Structure formats: C-alpha cells, structure tokens
C-alpha cells in the first residue's frame, strides 16, 4: 500500500481483503472513517449520531479474530452507517423526530446485526426525513442533510443521510429503507448505487415501520459489487422468524455479477420516457444506459405498464393509512415525547402528538385518519388496493417479454434546499419508483455520471421480477462497466480518513 491511502479510495472487498491479509487493521480503518466523518460531516450533516466507541470496539474484535486465526466475515473492517429508523443497541433510534429524540434502542435490528456479524464496523446513525416521510431529508426535526456534490442542494430522501454519507466518502456502505423510492431516489441525487430488494428479501425486524406492506431495507454503495456484498450479508441466515414477511433468499449476489447480458432482454416503457416533468438530462442518462446494454448484446424491447400513471394516487392512499396505523403507538404514554404539565390523559396525548410530530408527519397521519374513516374507506382505500392489483399484474405481463425494465430513477437532479414548498410537488419526486413498492418487486439505481446541463449526478433505474434481484445487479454491473460507476464527490475525496 502507498504511504498514505485514503480509505474512501477502497471498495468494501478491498478493505475486507486488506484487513484479512494484515495490510492494515480494522481499527486503523475505523479511525480513518471516524476522521473522515469529523473532517467532512460539518458540511454534509449526514449523521445524527456518530458511534466511535461502537466502531472501535467492533473493529478491535475483528482484529482479535484475525490474530486468533479465525476466518473473517466478508465485510471485515468495512465502515457502515445505518438510517436512524433502525435499532442498534448503544444508540438512539430517533427517526429524525422530536417524538423519539431520546429513545434508546432496546435491541438491534436484524438487518443491522447481519452486517455487523459479517464484520462491518458501525460508524453511526444517519439523518432522514422524519419517520421517512419525505424526498429531501428536509423534514428531519434536527437538521437537513446537504448533497456532497453541491451543498446548497438536497441529497434526496427519505434515506438522504445514508446516501450522502457514502457519496461524501464517510463510510463505504450504508443501509436505508425504501417505502416509495427512499433508497433509489437519494442514490440517484447523490450519484451512488442504491438497491431496494424484493419485499420480504431482507428482514424489517427492528426497523420502525412507515408502511408495512411497502417498506423494504436495502444498501447503498459506490459500486455494484459493494452493494452485492452488502446484500449477501443481509440475506445470510435466511428467513428471519421475527419478521412474518421475511423470506429465504438463498443466492450469492456476487456469483453472476460479471455475467454477460448478451441475448437477454431489457424492457423500456415509452410513455415513461416522455413523462411530464422528466428532465432531459435524466432522459439522456436512461438512453445512455439502454445504448450501453444494447452494445453488450442485450435486446431492447418496448413494454407496457398501462396503470402506472395511477401509482402515485394509489400510494398516497395506502401509505398514509398504514402510517396512521403504525404511528398511533406514539402517544406520549407508551412511547415518545411526553408533554409536561397536562392535567388529563386526553390533553397530554393530544399535546404530545401535536408537539412531538413535525408538519409532514402530522399531514400524513391526518390524511390516513381521514381515508380510514367510515364512508371514505370504501371510496378510496378499496379502489387503491384494486389499482395495486392491476399494477402488479401489469408488471407480471411485462416481465413475460423482458428480464428487467429500464426507466428513470428520479425526474430531475438534486434541487435546492427550500425549493419545493408544495407537498404534492415533493411527492412527484418518486413518480418513477413508487410503482415498484406497490408491486413489491426489486429495483436498483445506477449512477450514469453527471448531467450535461446541471453538472450534477444523473442515473438510470433497473426494475426486475420478485426475487430476481441478483439478475438486477448483473445488468447494473454491465452498465457500470460501460459508464464508469460512482465516486466520492470531488470536494470531499481524500480529505481526512487516511490509512498510513
């Protein structure tokens, strides 16, 4: 190794191999990551809590296992961060809300534990939109997160802190949750790889719920291989008995990563490529991805998703209803912020919720309460579930003609903080991702370089049939080989975090 190498120049596999071979220790990598966070996060604000004690303790345990001659995990010494709706003993799990500002994690989420069991070093908890309600990480009760490519712009959301931490080179991999695009959209805006696996592929036990039929946990990384490595850790151990929706996913996501795509088919939906609100540079990024796959021998075919235009409407019925149900527990008695000085339980509950939740959280819960009320439920909730069935069937028919579907991940590049004050305009940020959550299929956002007009990251999205997520990463890797993949945002690359 060179005299001084910034750890952010290394992939997850390179870090794990270096620790295993003794080129450097896990503790050295942990200290480099913590130095990078100290040096960079004042500008990015990706973290809500940094955990140096946990990081150094886990790294020291990895080094001890190596010294004892034990086999190390595939993520040995790899710095990782976790969205702050995921429990980790020794940290607070706040969901970026005043409601849970002092909530200490009573146990560790399965997804977090599996990365740690694979050898990952827990560096901290990342910022998010409050309770995952948002697409910009501006609704956090504590502070916004800034896009490392332009700190006057948002990183996307709701997993904006996790995406920004990877893009700024503070950690190598991170975890986010995706209910309507909350991994893929911030991955797009921050220029990193972000994957939403098939619903049920990754355990959600220990992750604070937003929409229980929509939520899924997935990884961010600066390369497809890093995401594949993280996915291997997330599915290791098979079905989680603590999550009734968890399924066995017995595949090695690295096994076919370099397979050719020659002879395989890629679906494109013409109406999505002409959708109102889609920026030209994002359209160009998808066309570049299609061309790169075609040049590698893939066939581009047109497919139809006739009901996809109704996806946002259906989502903003189903998701608020599930959010209202899930957040009813935060009443200031059993969980969460408790308003002082209230003479009655009713007043305490009312004021605790009024002052504990932010505006967007209250907006979505009130919408959910209305939609579940008598006389309204039948008018909106039932039809939304019927639309969900139609969209799922549309995808099934489309996948009879193709292996994956290629489309935009975000309608535009990162927008400026405060630019979107209209909630409905913000909701449209997920116009290309929501349908996949409704159907429960997998999706991945792949960096496509910088837009010609904005100079900001642009991306393409691949979607695939349920539990064919490994195939998604094969196509994503094919695009990455042709285009070049992600990198640390130039303003942060190499600043702090050196391995001697």
CA-based R_g, the chain, Å: 21
List 97, 135, 140, 158, catalytic entry:
158
User: What pLDDT band is residue 3 in, cutting at 50, 70 and 90?
Assistant: low
Q: Supply the pLDDT for residue 424.
A: 87
- 105 given a catalytic annotation: no
Burial letters for 131-160: b for 16+ Cβ neighbours within 10 Å, e otherwise? bbbbbbbbbbbeebbbbbbbbebbbbbbbb
List 83, 177, 410, 445, catalytic entry:
83
Secondary structure (3-state) at 223: coil
H or E segment to which residue 66 belongs: helix 52-67
Cis-peptide into 158, omega within 30 deg: yes
Rounded CA separation 349/451 (Å): 48
- 223 given a catalytic annotation: no
Rounded CA separation 458/284 (Å): 9
For residues 168-180, average pLDDT: 98
Give residue-wise pLDDT tens across range 268-297.
Answer: 999 999 999 999 999 999 999 999 999 999
Q: Which residues pair with 195 in a beta bridge?
A: 444
Give residue-wise pLDDT tens across range 424-460.
Answer: 889 999 999 999 999 999 999 999 999 999 999 999 9
- 362 given a catalytic annotation: no
Confidence (pTM): 0.97
Is the Cα torsion angle 287, 292, 295, 298 positive or negative in sign? negative
Q: Which residues pair with 265 in a beta bridge?
A: 299
List 159, 174, 182, 223, catalytic entry:
182
Give residue-wise pLDDT tens across range 39-88.
Answer: 999 999 999 999 999 999 999 999 999 999 999 999 999 999 999 999 99
> What top-level class would CATH report for the domain 5-263+446-455+464-499?
alpha beta
Give residue-wise pLDDT tens across range 327-383.
Answer: 999 988 877 899 899 999 899 889 999 999 999 999 999 999 999 999 999 999 999
Burial letters for 25-40: b for 16+ Cβ neighbours within 10 Å, e otherwise? bbbbbbbbbbbbbebb
């Amino acid at each position: 190794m060179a005299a001084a190498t910034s750890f952010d120049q290394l992939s997850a596999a390179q870090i794990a191999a270096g620790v295993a071979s003794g080129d450097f220790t896990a503790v050295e990598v942990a200290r480099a990551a913590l130095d990078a966070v100290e040096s960079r996060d004042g500008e990015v604000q990706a973290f809500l809590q940094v955990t140096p004690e946990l990081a150094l303790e886990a790294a020291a345990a990895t080094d001890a296992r190596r010294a004892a001659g034990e086999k190390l995990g595939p993520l040995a010494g790899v710095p990782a961060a976790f969205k702050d709706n995921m429990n980790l003993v020794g940290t607070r799990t706040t969901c970026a809300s005043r409601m849970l500002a002092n909530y200490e994690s009573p146990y560790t989420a399965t997804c977090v534990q599996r990365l740690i069991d694979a050898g990952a070093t827990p560096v901290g908890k990342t910022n998010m939109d409050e309770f995952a309600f948002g697409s910009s990480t501006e609704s956090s009760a504590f502070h916004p997160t800034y896009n490392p490519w332009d700190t006057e712009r948002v990183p996307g959301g709701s997993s904006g802190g996790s995406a920004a931490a990877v893009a700024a080179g503070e950690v190598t991999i991170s975890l986010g949750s995706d209910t309507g695009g909350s991994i893929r959209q911030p991955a797009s805006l921050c220029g990193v790889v972000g994957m939403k696996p098939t619903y049920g592929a990754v355990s959600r036990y220990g992750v604070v719920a937003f929409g229980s039929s929509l939520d899924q946990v997935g990884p961010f990384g600066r390369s497809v291989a890093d995401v594949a490595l993280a996915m291997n850790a997330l599915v290791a151990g098979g079905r989680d008995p603590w999550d009734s929706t968890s399924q066995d996913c017995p595949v090695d996501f690295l096994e076919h990563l370099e397979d050719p795509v020659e002879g395989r088919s890629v679906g494109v939906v013409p109406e999505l490529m002409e959708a109102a609100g889609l920026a030209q540079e994002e359209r160009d990024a998808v066309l570049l991805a299609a061309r790169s796959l075609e040049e590698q021998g893939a066939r581009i075919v047109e497919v139809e998703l006739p009901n996809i235009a109704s996806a946002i409407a259906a989502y903003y019925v189903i998701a608020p209803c599930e959010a209202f149900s899930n957040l009813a527990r935060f009443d200031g008695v059993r969980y969460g912020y408790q308003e002082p000085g209230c003479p009655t339980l009713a007043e305490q509950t009312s004021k605790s919720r009024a002052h504990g939740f932010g505006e967007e959280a209250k907006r979505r819960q009130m919408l959910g309460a209305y939609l579940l009320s008598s006389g309204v439920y039948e008018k909106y909730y039932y039809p939304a579930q019927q639309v969900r069935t139609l969209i799922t069937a549309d995808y099934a028919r489309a996948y009879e003609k193709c292996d994956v579907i290629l489309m935009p991940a975000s309608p535009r590049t990162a927008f400026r903080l405060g630019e979107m004050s209209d909630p409905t305009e913000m909701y449209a940020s997920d116009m290309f991702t929501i349908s996949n959550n409704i159907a429960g299929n997998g999706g991945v956002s792949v960096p496509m370089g910088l837009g010609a007009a904005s100079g900001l990251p642009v991306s393409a999205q691949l979607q695939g049939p349920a539990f064919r997520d490994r195939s998604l990463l094969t196509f994503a890797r094919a695009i990455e080989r042709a285009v070049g993949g992600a990198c640390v945002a130039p303003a942060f690359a190499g600043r702090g975090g050196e391995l001697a």
